[in-house]
Amino acid sequence: MKPAKGKLLIAEPTILNDTSFNRTIVLLTEFTKKNAVGFILNRPLKYTINDLIPEINCNFSVYQGGPVEQDNLYFIHNQPEIISESIEVSDGIYWGGNFESLKELLNNNSLKESDIRFFLGYSGWEKQQLEKEMNENSWFLENNNFENILSLDDKNLWKNKLLEKGGDYKLWANAPSDFNQN
């Protein structure tokens, strides 16, 4: 399988010492010959959207999207009919859109948390960097087979993907995140 937008990048257990991507799953939102962009799906922060933008009266969670541009807010959603200017990532998943209309939708309670996910920062790779990391066994790819990727149990997402893969991955799935606790 080759990287493409809409695919999931699952961190291999071999990158346990990588603080940016240890035990993560990244949704690829862009993949071209020049670069790749994605967002970490399973790393919630202790912020809500209201903490970051006080004029938005909404307490939806914010996630760490990745180590790049962590002072910028990004979002993916499944509501292109009401969030204009969105970019389709894959079937039913969209990236970005008109932020002014989004603020109004949030303030009017027109969106559910299962419709949208916010991120501080993103995950990015330069030309052929992602392919190199995959060849070094830092990542494996999977199709996004979730019915709604925006309402996943992020706490066990990585573990469950490893259990699905089976074999030696089952051992890693149950290993403690801090081996000193073993």
**Residue showing tokens 């914010």:** 62
Could you tell me if 3 and 129 are in contact, meaning their C-beta atoms sit under 8 angstroms apart?
no
pLDDT at 169: 80
pLDDT tens sequence across 96-148: 999 999 999 999 999 999 999 999 999 999 999 999 999 998 999 999 887 78
Angstrom CA distances, 70 to 30, 56, 94, 101, 120, stand at 18, 20, 20, 23, 5
156 within 8 A of 162, measured Cβ to Cβ: no
Mean pLDDT of 50-54: 96
Which positions ≥6 away from 138 have C-beta within 8 Å? 11, 12, 14, 15, 18, 21
Which of 59, 95, 63 is closest to 77 using CA atoms? 95
Which domains are present in the chain? Answer: 8-181 (3.40.1740.10)
SS3 category, 128: coil
β 61-64/116-126 pair status: parallel
Looking at residue 182, what is its pLDDT? 47
Nearest to 48 by CA among 146, 94, 116: 116
Contacts of 108 (CB under 8 A, 6+ apart): none
Residue 36 has pLDDT above 90, yes or no: yes
Mean pLDDT of 28-51: 96
CA 92 to mean position of chain CA atoms: 15
